[in-house]
């Protein structure tokens, strides 16, 4: 046998030959007539066409896989080259315990027609090594470059090969056993339908039978073969549905079958819908019957897994200055530096670095209003520490991050921490016990763990056991755990934490103050990085507006991005758009602070506006984003007396709360309508304060 060198030793070049002759809209693939192969540095070109027998790269260089090429196709970019094949087996690929079923010693050049379903019939065309001669004969060939086949293997027994299977077929899906093209018209004892393109003579459809077949329900397609042969032999429509059902069920059964021998499982299996479409196309070309009987729409198989199509072309680059500025001002864009937080960065860096160097644990509580750079600063600290660890300047450590907003229950914190540490997924109670054991017992090669807990206030429970454990573990001698907690309220420990929890948190605290207008202006300028897209007055206007309201950098970036869109749309052509001016910024501010929610708040009654003020006051008192109606109602009565208004009754307060909930300004607990009903804001507090500011003034 000639030794075929694989691509590990030589580089092969594969190119499509000719133009694509068919396009599959469902699979988004093009069909090609032939494939040209050449070896780098050589002028010889090998052409492979459907119908030829090919050698496919495998684990053994001397004995590559053998298959018959049925179809060549590729994706829209023509970069991925795929092929549909019919496999052949060597005896070495048959399981060891079934080789004795052959009953003799095989010839080295003998192969077997594979009828199993364990191997995917769709391969990468760039794994093709070349062509080979295969013939069906009972005697070995005279030349060493020719293989011969006379038996088939169906994963259970060796059988005599049907000569029809070796005939040349069109570029369609290879036939599979036990999948007839349509229901046989013979008795159950008749010879099974072969898998080749055999033309069957169909009887002339009787009108009575056709009307009865059209009224048959879908369940009739799953009847036994005996009933099908007597009741549905004349119905081609029902038979086509039966073929589709069998194809899908066979596809599911094939995924669980044993892989024969050492044959590797190839990726990217073909969809069953294309199999059905191509088989019905072959049927339509070979048999003539009324067209309304053969209109089969390929359906998506139920076993298909939805996936996002891979990107075939790179992302489009910004076309002008405004697009580039809009990309740099996006919240997800990672800036080159974090301005205006140098002191906070240095304090957090020194705290974590000292704990990692000493191998000890500790806690730090970080507070500040939203959009002040708390999480971004910590991520920058961790990035710098990981770089120092890679340079062997500090010991290695592990960084884990959890967020209270992403958990349905506070006890899920145990599960997420353990899963990120050990890749184990257990229940919350079991995870808490394993973490307790991990942080309490010494280990010879234990590395420091840095844990970031964002939105700490959402981990509050009645017994506060989750917070207690998170703050107590760093105090253990062998824990080597550093906990960084983030919340929006500066005095959260004094408000909601009991003494034994607050004492373990410690006194290491840091507060992020809201950005001033100069800091916001510096942040925008540093992100733009010499991209001249805004006028100086426009940047100063948006910075002052946001700084006067909340100092939220995220909102400032969103307003600037919206201003660039307005400027680009106002120009006659996107390429001719100029700088963002104050008029564009004012329009973006009006859109941002004049939403439907703000309009609804301004149009609300006096008691409803007062109730919203009471909700915000209670949230700030509790340090949480949720309160009961009873707590808010007490605040509402207090504010009414301060404003010199007559306090409303309990029933009137419930009615006000329900009206705000109907407008979706509040989120109310739907399961109860009493004093303990939980209330949350559906808009940000900044929007509520902005909408109520003209009323309060």
Hunting for tokens 């050990």 — which residue is that?
422
The full DSSP string for 262-283 is TPPPPS-PPPHHHHHHHHHHHH
Q: Which residue has the higher pLDDT, 63 or 615?
A: 615
> What's the pLDDT at 589?
87
Spatial separation of the C-alpha atoms in residues 50 and 70, rounded to whole Å: 5
On the question of pLDDT at 388 being above 80, the answer is yes
Token representation of residue 563: 């201003």
The full DSSP string for 216-243 is --GGGGGS-HHHHHHHSSS-HHHHHHHH
> What's the pLDDT at 338?
84
Q: Which residue has the higher pLDDT, 622 or 217?
A: 622
> What's the pLDDT at 685?
86
Mean pLDDT of 171-188: 37
Q: Which residue has the higher pLDDT, 244 or 358?
A: 358
Per-residue DSSP letter, 534: B
> What's the pLDDT at 417?
95
Tens digits of residue pLDDT in 410-452: 999 999 999 999 999 999 999 999 999 999 988 877 899 999 9
Side-chain half-sphere exposure of 410, counting CA atoms within 13 A: 16
> What's the pLDDT at 224?
40
Mean pLDDT of 354-383: 93
> What's the pLDDT at 219?
40
The winner for highest mean pLDDT among 110-114, 166-170, 285-289 is 110-114
> What's the pLDDT at 117?
75
> Mean pLDDT across the chain, nearest whole number?
78
Contact 293, 43 (CB under 8 A): no
Distance of CA 8 to the CA centre of its chain: 33
The winner for highest mean pLDDT among 205-214, 414-423, 436-445, 665-674 is 414-423
- Residue 601's contacts (CB-CB under 8 Å, 6 or more residues apart) are 609, 612, 665, 683, 687, 688, 691, 692
> What's the pLDDT at 576?
62
Mean pLDDT of 288-309: 51
Q: Is 2 exposed, middle or buried (0-12, 13-18, 19+ CB in 10 A)?
A: exposed
On the question of pLDDT at 290 being above 50, the answer is no
The winner for highest mean pLDDT among 93-107, 334-348, 605-619 is 605-619
Spatial separation of the C-alpha atoms in residues 43 and 57, rounded to whole Å: 22
On the question of pLDDT at 184 being above 60, the answer is no
Out of 244-253, 292-301, 673-682, pick the least confident: 244-253
On the question of pLDDT at 261 being above 50, the answer is no
Tens digits of residue pLDDT in 119-141: 788 888 888 988 888 888 777 77
Look at residues 576, 545, 581 and name the one whose alpha carbon lies nearest to residue 563. Answer: 581
Q: Using alpha carbons only, give the angle 164, 166, 172 rounded to the nearest 5 degrees.
A: 90
In which band, very low, low, confident or very high, does the pLDDT at 197 lie, cut at 50, 70 and 90? very low
Spatial separation of the C-alpha atoms in residues 186 and 194, rounded to whole Å: 14
On the question of pLDDT at 211 being above 60, the answer is no
Neighbouring C-beta atoms of residue 643, cutoff 10 Å = 11
- Percent of the chain with pLDDT strictly greater than 90: 34
Token representation of residue 569: 């749309």
Distance of CA 20 to the CA centre of its chain: 32
> What's the pLDDT at 399?
96
Tens digits of residue pLDDT in 73-114: 888 776 788 899 998 988 888 888 888 888 888 888 889 899
> What's the pLDDT at 400?
95
Spatial separation of the C-alpha atoms in residues 256 and 59, rounded to whole Å: 23
On the question of pLDDT at 243 being above 70, the answer is no
Contact 7, 57 (CB under 8 A): yes
Sign of CA dihedral 344, 349, 355, 361: positive
On the question of pLDDT at 688 being above 80, the answer is yes
> What's the pLDDT at 180?
36
């Amino acid at each position: 046998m000639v030794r075929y060198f694989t691509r590990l030793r030589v580089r092969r070049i594969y190119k499509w030959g000719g133009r694509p002759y068919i396009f599959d809209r469902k699979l988004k693939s093009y069909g090609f007539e032939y494939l040209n192969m050449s070896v780098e540095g050589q002028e010889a070109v090998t052409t492979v066409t459907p119908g030829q027998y090919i050698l496919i790269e495998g684990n053994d260089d001397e004995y590559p896989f053998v298959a018959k090429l049925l179809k060549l196709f590729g994706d829209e970019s023509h970069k991925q080259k795929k092929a549909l094949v019919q496999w052949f087996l060597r005896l070495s690929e048959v399981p060891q315990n079934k080789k004795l079923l052959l009953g003799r010693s095989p010839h080295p050049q003998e192969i077997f027609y594979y009828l199993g379903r364990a191997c995917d019939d769709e391969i990468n065309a760039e794994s093709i090594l070349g062509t080979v001669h295969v013939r069906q004969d009972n005697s070995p060939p005279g030349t060493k470059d020719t293989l011969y086949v006379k038996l088939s293997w169906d994963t259970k027994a060796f059988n005599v090969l049907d000569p029809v299977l070796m005939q040349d077929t069109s570029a369609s899906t290879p036939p599979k056993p036990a999948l007839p093209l349509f229901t046989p018209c013979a008795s159950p004892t008749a010879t099974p339908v072969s898998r080749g393109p055999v033309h069957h003579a169909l009887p002339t459809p009787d009108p009575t039978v056709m009307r009865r077949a059209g009224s048959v329900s879908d369940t009739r397609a799953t009847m036994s073969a005996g009933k099908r042969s007597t009741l549905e032999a004349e119905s081609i429509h029902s038979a086509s549905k039966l073929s589709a059902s069998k194809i899908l069920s066979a596809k599911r059964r094939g995924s669980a079958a044993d892989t024969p021998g050492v044959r590797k499982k190839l990726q990217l299996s073909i969809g069953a819908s294309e199999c059905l479409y191509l088989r019905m196309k072959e049927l339509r070309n070979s048999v003539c019957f009324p067209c309304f009987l053969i209109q089969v729409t390929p359906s998506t198989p139920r076993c298909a897994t939805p996936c996002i199509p891979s990107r075939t072309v790179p992302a489009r680059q910004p076309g002008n200055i405004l697009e580039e500025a809009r990309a740099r001002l996006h919240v997800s864009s990672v800036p080159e530096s974090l301005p205006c937080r140098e002191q906070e960065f240095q304090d957090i860096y020194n705290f974590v670095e000292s704990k990692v160097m000493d191998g000890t644990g500790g806690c730090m509580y970080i507070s500040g209003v939203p959009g002040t750079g708390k999480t971004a600063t910590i991520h920058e600290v961790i990035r710098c520490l990981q770089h120092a660890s890679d340079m062997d300047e500090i010991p290695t450590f592990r960084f884990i991050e959890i967020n209270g907003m992403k958990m349905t229950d506070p006890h899920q914190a145990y599960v997420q921490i353990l899963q990120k540490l050990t890749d184990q997924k257990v229940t919350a109670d079991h995870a808490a016990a394993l973490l307790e054991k991990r942080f309490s017992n010494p280990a010879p090669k234990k590395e420091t763990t840095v844990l970031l807990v964002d939105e700490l206030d959402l981990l509050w429970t009645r017994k506060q056991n989750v917070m207690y454990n998170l703050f107590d573990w760093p105090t253990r001698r062998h824990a080597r755990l550093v906990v960084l907690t983030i919340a929006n309220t500066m005095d959260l420990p004094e408000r909601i934490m009991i003494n034994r929890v607050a004492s373990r948190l410690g006194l290491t605290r840091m507060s992020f103050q809201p950005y001033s207008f100069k800091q916001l202006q510096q942040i925008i300028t540093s992100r733009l990085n010499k991209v001249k897209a805004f006028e100086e007055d426009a940047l100063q206007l948006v910075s002052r507006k946001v700084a006067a309201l909340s100092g939220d950098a995220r909102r400032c970036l969103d307003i600037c991005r919206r201003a660039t869109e307005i400027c680009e749309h106002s120009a006659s052509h996107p390429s001719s758009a100029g700088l963002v001016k104050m008029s564009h910024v004012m329009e973006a501010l009006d859109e941002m602070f004049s939403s439907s929610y703000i309009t609804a708040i301004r149009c609300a009654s006096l008691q409803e506006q007062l109730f919203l003020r009471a909700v915000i006051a209670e949230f700030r008192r509790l340090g949480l984003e949720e309160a009961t109606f009873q707590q808010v109602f007490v605040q509402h009565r207090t504010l009414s007396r301060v404003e010199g208004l007559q306090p409303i009754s309990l029933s009137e307060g419930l009615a006000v709360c329900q009206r705000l909930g109907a407008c979706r300004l509040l989120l109310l607990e739907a399961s109860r309508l009493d004093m303990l009903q939980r209330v949350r804001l559906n808009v940000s507090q900044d929007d509520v304060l902005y909408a109520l500011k003209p009323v309060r003034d």
